[in-house]
Amino acid sequence: MKTRTTYGFALLMLFVMACASGPRSQATPAELAAFEKMISDKSFQVDASWAQPMASQGLNSIANAGLLPRGSSASRIDIAGSGGYLRIVGDSVMADLPYFGERQMGGAYNPQKGGIQFNGIPKEFTIEPNKKGDGKTLRFNISQNQEGYRVIAQIYPSNYTTITIASTHRTTIWYQGTVSEYEREK
């Protein structure tokens, strides 16, 4: 009987957690206006705090060896102190994000530049309202050093952001972070 009660309680807790609200939260009208202005001005930066690489045997081996930051796993890596970002300024996009995953095609090995880095004017840049909720979806393609990237970013007024980057040379990776207005250096 006690086992049945324990399982029932665990199932109830799982159901309650599954029904909890996600990253989207109700924003005030002032927050929504500031969010819309930041997006329409195309002057913002996403600071990545988590990387979510595709699971692979190589990443599992690294995790099992204890080589990932504390609190990380092979499928979710804490990158909060890395300085990783995706920046949109006018018509230009810039990114410098750490990469965890597997390279699918050969390329020059440079231990100083192993992450996802690009800087330039993207192709097929679109900003659309999210299908669900009150955020925006950014999509664009960009190439850098013979490698092409397809980037999709979901940005919410709560400043929560997810980024998906598919590469022509590497496995897909996802990032989570926060968005803020980009302050140009003077």
In a domain, 136, yes or no: yes
Query: Please, which pLDDT band fits residue 26 given cuts at 50, 70 and 90?
Result: confident
Contacts of 6 (CB under 8 A, 6+ apart): none
In a domain, 18, yes or no: no
In a domain, 104, yes or no: yes
Residues in the chain: 186
Please write the tens of the pLDDT for every residue from 96-109.
Answer: 999 998 887 665 55
Q: How far, in Å, CA of 139 to CA of 122, rounded?
A: 9
In a domain, 105, yes or no: yes
In three-state secondary structure terms, 60 is: helix
Query: Please, which pLDDT band fits residue 25 given cuts at 50, 70 and 90?
Result: low
The range of the structural domain enclosing residue 99 comes to: 27-181
Alpha helices in 42-95, H assignment, sequence order: 57-64
Task: Give the number of domains in the chain.
Answer: 1
- State the residue for tokens 């250096």: 185
Please write the tens of the pLDDT for every residue from 44-100.
Answer: 999 999 999 998 888 888 888 888 888 888 899 999 988 999 999 999 999 999 999
Query: Please, which pLDDT band fits residue 145 given cuts at 50, 70 and 90?
Result: confident
Q: How far, in Å, CA of 175 to CA of 149, rounded?
A: 14
Q: How far, in Å, CA of 95 to CA of 99, rounded?
A: 12
In a domain, 6, yes or no: no
According to the model, what pLDDT value does residue 6 have? 53
Query: What is the average per-residue pLDDT within 137-157?
Result: 94
- CB of 169 closer than 8 Å to CB of 105: yes
According to the model, what pLDDT value does residue 3 have? 59
Say which CATH number the domain at 108 has.
2.40.128.410
